[in-house]
Chain A
């Protein structure tokens, strides 16, 4: 990796693809096939890969409305707990969720202006 791996958020490890990777790495470590240090490198590669891919490839938009139950801003991270949310996607699709947690990091990294 050209730059320091800390430059990418570890946020996306909580997605399904991240969890699948973590499970897989756990299995490999338990089998003694890889070392935990190597696993950490893989995960930082994952952080970079998913951040870049999302920035490059995903252009779709989503708007939503709901009742904000809890909000918190700590260490540059917003966390919202929204209830009774109504989403509207680009293609006019609508769907509904009772309760959604939104975890959001600053899109500008600490060094950026």
Chain B
């Protein structure tokens, strides 16, 4: 490959992969920011290898600050601040953003109290507003889920529905309210509702109320849960880092070895066999081989200690054989993998001891360049 071309080709490959992976990210429910992070890290790593001059090298513009939840938090904070300022300065302004949000949905159930007499319509914290979504409002999926729960389980589903409602208060009902309304829980109690009805006449005394209700309870909650989840995952990664590390690399190495006939070409000492446990993990990941889910092993019902047996297998036969192999492979790895050409062939001919090969679509690394 000519040197000028390498950068272009790599840039196109990275662009294509990111574009095609976008849909997979969306389907997997992963933030697209992670895709950007993947791209920038990939470019950085490739630049670090210094195999070629890459198009993104001259402009040093890698976007790295991609904490998944940071954007949403950053949005929330500036929005709350100006809205609070508005309530203080513009006293006649009719939409004081945070306060009416809980008022409107709960005002409806007050009137329709007789429809669901078993639940107090004021809807304080732990109760749920069963009839609220029977009023012809556009129903969200959450509403429908809550209604289903209500219909099938009646009163017993109360806590679940309350949880549903307090997790994500309904946004579409309040088109005029700024997004800060999304963070208000509906647990302000009757006092704030009555305060809202009196709101236009005396705003000044009400200032503490909107401030209080715009405390962004929800946001804090979700940030807290996210923080704990993040910390938990961090701890998990730290604890199991040694096991999960290089999973993809091991997978790739296993595949590569498969491609080359399982290391038949190499001397026995040079062979780099993945450890049994790793290959087993990889097989379960890629869905190859028999799936050993706990339920299946239990269904066998004659082998009592399957899980233990598995663990013993790792120690029993293979580990003794693998370890020396891996050590030897690490020692001699360098020379073997230094200069590799990866390509496809059209034709391979041999006449006596003269070989003639027609190869194409190759990547070749020699002397550190490609």
Contacts and interface: CB of A to CB of B under 8 A. Distances in A.
Given A16-B49, A39-B248, A33 B37 contact: yes
B345 A105 contact: yes
A23 B45 contact: yes
Given A32-B237, A81-B265, A55 B246 contact: no
A59 to B, nearest CB: 8
Given A55-B361, A57-B5, A42 B51 contact: no
Given A36-B285, A75-B261, A30 B237 contact: yes
A48 B339 CA distance: 24
Contact of A24 (B10, B38, B264, B345): B38
A38 B24 contact: yes
B351 interface: no
Interface stretch (B13-21, B156-164, B294-302, B321-329): B13-21
Interface string A70-113: 11111101111100000101110001010111111111000000
Interface size class of B (residues with CB under 8 A): 35 or more
A58 B307 CA distance: 51
A28 B33 CA distance: 12
A78 B233 CA distance: 43
Interface stretch (B81-89, B144-152, B190-198, B251-259): B251-259
Given A14-B342, A104-B357, A29 B17 contact: no
A72 to B, nearest CB: 5
Contacts of A15: 342, 363, 365, 370
A82 B261 CA distance: 18
Nearest to B341: A102
Contacts of A33: 30, 34, 37, 68
Contacts of B8: 57
Given A27-B41, A30-B241, A107-B346, A43 B248 contact: yes
Interface string B338-370: 111111111010000001010111111111001
A16 B361 contact: no
Contact of A20 (B45, B264, B363): B45
Given A58-B5, A97-B367, A104 B344 contact: yes
Given A26-B245, A30-B241, A77 B259 contact: yes
Contacts, number: 221
B360 A107 contact: yes
A28 B38 contact: yes
Contact of A49 (B1, B17, B247, B360): B17
A104 B345 contact: yes
A105 B357 CA distance: 12
B21 A54 contact: no
A19 B172 CA distance: 46
A46 to B, nearest CB: 5
A21 B20 contact: no
A21 B255 contact: no
B353 to A, nearest CB: 8
Nearest to B347: A107
A105 to B, nearest CB: 5
Nearest to B31: A33
B133 interface: no
Interface of A: 1, 9-43, 45-46, 48-55, 57-58, 60, 62, 68, 70-75, 77-81, 87, 89-91, 95, 97, 99-107
Interface of B: 1-2, 5, 8-10, 12-14, 16-17, 20-21, 24-25, 28, 30, 34, 37-38, 41-42, 45-46, 48-49, 51, 68, 233-234, 236-237, 241, 244-249, 252, 255-256, 259-261, 264-265, 285-286, 335-346, 348, 355, 357, 359-367, 370
12 contacts: A10-B252, A17-B14, A17-B46, A20-B42, A33-B37, A36-B247, A50-B13, A57-B8, A58-B9, A68-B355, A95-B366, A105-B259
